[in-house]
Structure 1
């Protein structure tokens, strides 16, 4: 009844029109504040948690492959360490340096992942398992290096290294890859949710903006007819301000939307892909050292090397003895025509 009374009089109708415009006007800044707070939270979570967790996992995967390759290189370049004969001093020193660097990277990554996984039981369990397996792996490598320092103990060192690399391939690397996938999936869910919220907010902003401009225009027409005035300067100014505010708000939503996409799809996805490719390349490099170090497993390491080569650059029908030639042909064709 009160609404009917307001609509029944001119002052009442003007008050209702003013209330509608005020509510629509207030809704826009409130929506912008909510959207800005949501975007800020998303960026903070991405920069402080999601991206670092995923990057730590990719570094762990990469360093594990590098550490095993350097272990093989140490054993290859040491000669008969117990007899002090045949050591390749430069290669031996470099391999030891790279080994320690990879060891430190793994330790830092595990600490970072342990801190970041608090409250996530599945990830915590994976990190704990990785830490335990890494300790066992270091024990096996340490035993191999200790045996290698004794006279005529190369076979024993080789056997310990074989156990270490089996542990790496059977448990450590699969766990590290699962950790990369799990953290990347969490980031992907956060990204999808943030983009969904932003899409909804952008649509709501467009609806509110159109309603506000329409209300101001209709009020201008109503006043012009009712009071026989062609223009109302205040309403014209308010309408122009509303149009500018709506356009700027839409631009802000669009820029935020695009930057989220760039950060995730155009930047972070390529980092993950490159890190995975690099880890595969390091593992393939380790297969070359393992091939030289362990003659009894040469067939296995040949097959493993070819498989990793195909993961990096698959060539249909290429075998180990034809892969290089086919790779050269494929790359030459690509250079002639980048659309091929």
Structure 2
């Protein structure tokens, strides 16, 4: 009993003991709050490193691979369409452009496969997908190379077409499904990390507020005890420490809430649109390839016409539309939207983008994309009309020419408009990442400094009072 009484006098019963205990509680809580904020800041920095350096590039590389595969196949078809008979009757400009774009696409695919191979390490499912893509792409290149070699021989068109069919069948059955699987896999991984990071930030914000309020309560108790014991209204040191703590809690809360806001801006407002627009671009190139395949392979025209319509529906879905009615119904539904932006009678990737318009200039750019898409759709009907009337040579020239007013020139205008919307969202994604990093690097040192000042000011404020008992 005597020992317990001695301990009680030492640690609580006397005024100096109470002051030391309150000082220790202040230091411990301030240290815990500083450690929590430091851990939250480091975690936020790690999240931004993952988002900008891993998650977003992986997803866009997979989407770029999908696009490049479609572009490579389209350019192979365009090369065969424009080559003439062993060079005789060649459409020189379309042929040279197709050959150049084919080489660009092949190099882009090689780069994307290397990037995705590195990104897939540790994920056995993705590793197998990349391995399958690499093997199948090698086979695809061999088939296309054989097709182009056969096409260079007089009378080699039939053999070239047979090789091209096998190549494009491999593309449809293996390469494109695998590339889209990687898009979905990497985008899902990014989404999971985003959700986990947002949840962690919410938990840390609640913890910061709880610890901060507890620390302010202890400082308030200390101030009250000093006023009651020493008959003074306020202790300047403890008052200054309370102000520093309050500022630290405000800045720390702002750091976490700003990080959460910038993270949402990067993922939901910007990158969701980047993914939708990247998918739209890949689908557009596939649809463009279907036009060339339609002209190149008369035996499969019905198949490629259905495929083209399916891709049109993925981009701008109109329930019940056929190739013959799609143009007029696109014009009607788009005019309705233009009159009332809430009148959305279509689905697809363009609708997904218009539902997620966030940034200045984005809506106008997105609407411009649909305007240019409508022009391209009209060109497609013109090509099919020319074929139906037996003017296939004219249809080929119109389809693959880059001259003003021709189909490829209009396709280029559509892609330019689509790229502008994508660039707006990419720029805001980058600015959200940059602002998120700045919030951490700008506010974290201040919160740490304020909490250190609070501890020092508390000690300085109590020193004169404790000195009275020596």
Say which SS state the counterpart of residue 321 (structure 2) adopts.
coil
Q: 1:132 is matched with which residue?
A: 135
1:68 corresponds in structure 2 to 73
The reply to whether residue 224 of structure 1 matches residue 224 of structure 2 is no
Distance (whole Å) between structure 1 residues aligned to residue 15 and residue 311 of structure 2 = 80
The match for 1:46 is 51
Q: Deviations over 1:269-324 (max 9, x none)?
A: 21111111110111011111111111111111111111110110111121110001
Is residue 304 of structure 2 the alignment partner of residue 301 of structure 1? Answer: yes
Q: How big is each residue's C-alpha offset from its partner over 1:154-184, in whole Å with a ceiling of 9 and x where there is no partner?
A: 1111111111111001000000000111111
Q: Which region of structure 1 is more displaced relative to structure 2, 209-218 or 62-71?
A: 209-218
CA deviation profile, 1:93-152 (whole Å, cap 9, x unmatched): 000011100000000101111122222222111111100000000111111111111111
1:284 and 2:270 aligned? no
Shift of 1:227: 2.2
Q: Which whole-Å CA distance do the structure 2 matches of 1:187 and 1:281 have between them?
A: 25
| Residue aligning to 1:317 | 320
Per-residue deviation, 1:3: 6.4
CA distance in 2, matches of 1:290, 1:153: 18
Which TM-score applies when normalising by structure 1?
Answer: 0.96
Quote the Cα distance in structure 2 between the aligned partners of 1:98 and 1:176: 20
* Counterparts of 2:8 and 2:113, CA distance in 1: 69
- Which residue number corresponds to residue 58 of structure 1? 63
How far residue 192 of structure 1 moved from its aligned partner, in angstroms, is 1.8
Q: 2:244 aligns with which of 231, 234, 241?
A: 241
Question: Aligned partners of 2:237, 2:93: CA distance in 1, in Å?
Answer: 83
- Worse overlay, 15-24 or 2-11: 2-11
Instruction: Give, in angstroms, the shift of residue 49 of structure 1.
Output: 1.9
Q: 1:183 aligns with which of 186, 191, 199?
A: 186
| 1:271 matches 2:256 | no
Counterpart mapping for 1:1-340 below 5 A: 1=4, 4-5=8-9, 6-81=11-86, 84-340=87-343
Query: Structure 2: how far apart are the matches of 1:109 and 1:16?
Result: 62
SS in 2 for 1:150: coil
CA distance in 2, matches of 1:339, 1:49: 37
C-alpha separation in 1, matches of 2:157 and 2:122:
46
How far did 1:47 drift? Answer: 2.3
What residue ranges of structure 2 are gaps of 5+ in the alignment? 344-470
The CA distance in 1 between the partners of 2:84 and 2:111, in whole Å, is 32
**Deviation >3 Å, runs of 4+:** 1-5
Distance 2:57 2:320 in 1: 39
